[in-house]
Amino acid sequence: MLFQPINKNYHEFVIDRDKDRCINCKVCVRQCSYEAHYWDENRQKVMHDNSKCIGCHRCEALCPTAALTIRRNRSEFRPNANWRPVFLQNIYKQADTGGVLLAGMGSPVDIPVYWDRLLLDASQVTNPSIDPLREPMELRTFLGAKPDKVELGNDAEGKPVLKTKLAPQIKLDTPIMFAAMSFGAINFNLHRAMARAATELKTAYNTGEGGLHRSLFKYGQHTIVQVASGRFGVHRDYLNAGCGIEIKIGQGAKPGIGGHLPGEKINDKVSETRMIPIGSDAISPAPHHDIYSIEDLLQLIFALKEASEYKVPVSVKIAAVHNVAAIASGVVRAGADIITVDGMRGGTGAAPAMIRDNVGIPIELALASVDQRLRDEGIRHKASVVAAGGIRCSADVVKAIALGADAVYIGTATLLSVGCTLCGRCYTGKCPWGIATNDPRLSKRQNPDVASGKLVNLVQAWSHEIQEMLGGMGLNSIESLRGNRDKLRGVGLSETELDILGVKHAGR
């Protein structure tokens, strides 16, 4: 061969195998779904191929003698501020393949994380803090349209009663929900784990665009069912199975484009749920072919309300883009009870890398602008706002609520809690941790009982921390924090950024 592709020897990770510790037990061979480890018959020992390693660290975690270490490849290109290694690698790959570069999970691009530039207030002498262990601390949240005003009356015994009829609401005991991840993109064990965890926590999880397996209908009081452009798994029973319905218009990780679940992931259970043939690709086009205006969206919203007999709220999920505030205003005026705004750092099973890393805006800026626009127009009470796309910890949740969110979705954090290591190869269907795969051998690595327990632990831990932070601010309910931007201060932000976020600089 006259020309050897540089990609063959330039790879991201190196497998270090300690020869003194390795006992050739073949655990790494069995665990690696990418076949980076293999048994060499001639040498009668385990060998490895560095070019196949994706950095998932499963072999390292399960090696019984701690003989393996996965590290970044130290090989470096000549420094060039304009032509960073990632661009060189991408060009080499595309010159070899002629294809679109796919990526999974959230964007690794170094764009500002505004959560880290926002600081919370704390109470002192004139406004004492509250001890959440000894005083009531309310995290309960209701998602749905609220009335312009409420009218109270008295019952026969003279007790106060609410006379105003309220729109349908989703009741959450904590403002944290599990984000939309479709059955097919992740496997049935994880869907069942999220359903169980949401039920135990008395919060909600989102089915994603792949429908809901009938065995999970019993968790419907804590399930938000999604309707996407492909209409996979959508039928009357499905629409009436959940506590809410969400129309997916956009996704933060890939605004403006559709989705594609490869046929390799469509097994019998996914086929039954999505109502498509086994092994066929599931393609969700970018636009809904019945929505080309706000008026069209209004018709779908009320068609779904009719189908569910006006018993549940209808949400609309939009991606965080430049004119997101105006879009949100139109969505509320079209009759949506909830708006989900998904920022560009949100995760995904598969997206073109160029779109994931270059399209959309961070959730912090989008959330603040949407909340302010709805307040300015006097329609903020007509819809709840849910923030998604880059929520990493309980402090992010508190800051999101202070910026105007009623609740948040967590997706990547959900997967991390059950073992995901952000290797970003979800689209291959070979997830070594048994998450983004329907391979029966790999899926077994996720025990739904264990996974559910981890999800419950995570949300309970975050909820306790939220109560501590609320108490430190002198607040005893999440309602008192919502949109209360005076509890935030910015550090190292420009005047424009502070203006969009609606917060003062620290020291003021």
Does the pLDDT at position 387 exceed 60? Answer: yes
393 is in an annotated binding site: no
Average pLDDT over residues 276-304: 92
Strands 338-342 and 314-319: parallel
Which domain does 46 fall in, by range?
Answer: 6-99
pLDDT bracket for residue 8 (50, 70, 90) = low
Domain identity same for 370 and 252: yes
Provide the 3-class DSSP secondary structure of residue 340. strand
**CATH code where residue 85 lies:** 3.30.70.20
pLDDT of residue 156: 85
Is there a contact between 363 and 252 (Cβ–Cβ < 8 Å)? yes
Domain end marker among 84, 99, 114: 99
36-46 pLDDT, tens per residue? Answer: 999 999 999 99
User: Residue 46 pairs with which residues in a beta bridge?
Assistant: 39
Instruction: Please give the average per-residue pLDDT across 313-326, as a whole number.
Output: 97
Q: What is the mean pLDDT of residues 141-168?
A: 90
Mean pLDDT throughout 468-472? 96
Annotated binding residue 423: no
DSSP-assigned states of every residue in 258-318:
-EEE-GGG--HHHHHHHTS-TT--EEE-SS-TT-SSHHHHHHHHHHHHHHTTT-S-EEEEE
d(CA 389, CA 360): 11
Residues 406, 298 share a domain:
yes
Query: Does residue 179 share a domain with residue 69?
Result: no
User: Which of 393, 431, 398, 429 shows the shortest CA–CA distance to 410?
Assistant: 393
Q: What is the pLDDT of residue 125?
A: 87
Buried-state track 82-115, b at ≥16 Cβ within 10 A, e below 16: eeeeeeebeeeeeeeeeeeebbbbbbeeeeeebb
pLDDT attached to residue 262: 83
pLDDT, tens only, 84-95: 888 988 898 898
| Amino acid residing at 60 | E
| 187: three-class secondary structure by DSSP | coil
Q: Do 237 and 369 belong together in one domain? A: yes
**Residue pair 390/363 in contact by the 8 Å Cβ criterion:** yes
Average pLDDT over residues 330-356: 95
Mean pLDDT of 387-394: 96
94 shares its domain with 222: no
Write the Ramachandran bin of 262: left for phi over 0, alpha for psi from -120 to 50, otherwise beta. beta
Q: End of a domain among 40, 72, 99?
A: 99
- 171 and 76 co-located in one domain: no
Give the CA diameter of the chain: 94
Gyration radius (Cα) of the chain, Å: 24
Q: Compute how many other C-beta atoms are within 10 angstroms of the C-beta atom of residue 56.
A: 26
Burial class (CB in 10 A: 0-12, 13-18, 19+), 81: exposed
324-333 and 294-307 are packed helices; what angle lies between their axes, rounded to 10 degrees? Answer: 50
Q: How confident is the model at residue 193 (pLDDT cuts 50, 70, 90)?
A: very high
The annotation status of 32 as a binding-site residue, yes or no, is yes
pLDDT in tens, 407-432: 999 999 999 999 999 999 998 999 99
Verdict on whether the full-model pTM lies above 0.85: yes
Residue 108 in any domain: the answer is no
Closest CA to 359 of 326, 390, 320, 389: 320
With beta carbons less than 8 A apart as the criterion, state whether 439 and 362 touch. no
Cα(108)–Cα(477) distance, rounded to whole angstroms? Answer: 35
- Rounded distance between C-alpha atoms, residue 342 and residue 251, angstroms: 6
- How far apart are alpha carbons 314 and 170 in whole angstroms? 10
Give the list of residues 6+ apart from residue 381 with CB closer than 8 angstroms, or none. Answer: 145, 146, 147, 148
Cα-to-chain-centroid distance, residue 322: 20
Task: Take residue 250 and report the two structure tokens written for it.
Answer: 């956009």
| Residue 374 to residue 473: CA distance in whole angstroms | 26
Please classify residue 376 by burial: count the beta carbons closer than 10 Å to its beta carbon, then call 0-12 exposed, 13-18 middle and 19+ buried.
exposed
> Is 255 domain-assigned?
yes
Contacts of 294 (CB under 8 A, 6+ apart): 330, 331, 333, 334
Q: Quick check: is 445 in a domain?
A: yes
How wide is the angle at C-alpha 388 spanned by C-alphas 410 and 486, nearest 5°? 110
Domain end: 99, 124, 152, which one?
99
Cα–Cα dist 448/219, whole Å = 14
How much is the pLDDT for 259?
84
Task: Report if residue 148 sits inside a domain.
Answer: no
Instruction: Label the pairing between strands 102-103 and 351-352.
Output: antiparallel
Pick from 136, 208, 195, 143: nearest CA to 172: 143
Q: Looking at the domain assignment, is residue 104 inside a domain? A: no
Q: Identify whether 162 is part of a domain.
A: no
Residue at 198 is within a domain:
yes
- pLDDT band at 1; cut points 50, 70, 90: very low
Q: Residues 267-288: pLDDT tens digits? A: 889 999 999 999 888 888 889 9
Confidence band, pLDDT 50/70/90 cuts, at residue 319: very high
Residues 95 and 226 in one domain: no
Same domain, 473 and 384: yes
- For residues 64 and 210, state if they share a domain: no
Q: Are residues 171 and 95 in the same domain?
A: no
- pLDDT mean over 374-394: 97
Q: What is the CATH number of the domain that holds 334?
A: 3.20.20.70
Strand-pair category, 282-284 with 141-143 = unpaired
**Cβ neighbour number for residue 277 with a 10 Å cutoff:** 10
> Do residues 184 and 266 touch, judged by C-beta distance below 8 A?
yes
Q: Quick one: which of 411, 429, 402 has its CA closest to 489? A: 402
Packing angle of the helix pair 394-403, 448-472 (nearest 10 deg)? 60
Whether the pLDDT of residue 2 is over 60: the answer is no
What is the average per-residue pLDDT within 326-347?
Answer: 97
Question: What is the rounded distance in angstroms from the CA atom of residue 197 to the CA atom of residue 471?
Answer: 26
Residue 6 has a pLDDT of 64
Highest mean pLDDT among 1-5, 129-133, 185-189: 185-189
**pLDDT exceeds 90 at position 483:** yes
Average pLDDT of the chain to the nearest whole number:
94
Was 426 annotated as part of a binding site?
no
Q: Is residue 84 part of a domain?
A: yes
Number of domains in the chain: 2
Q: What is the DSSP letter of 253?
A: T
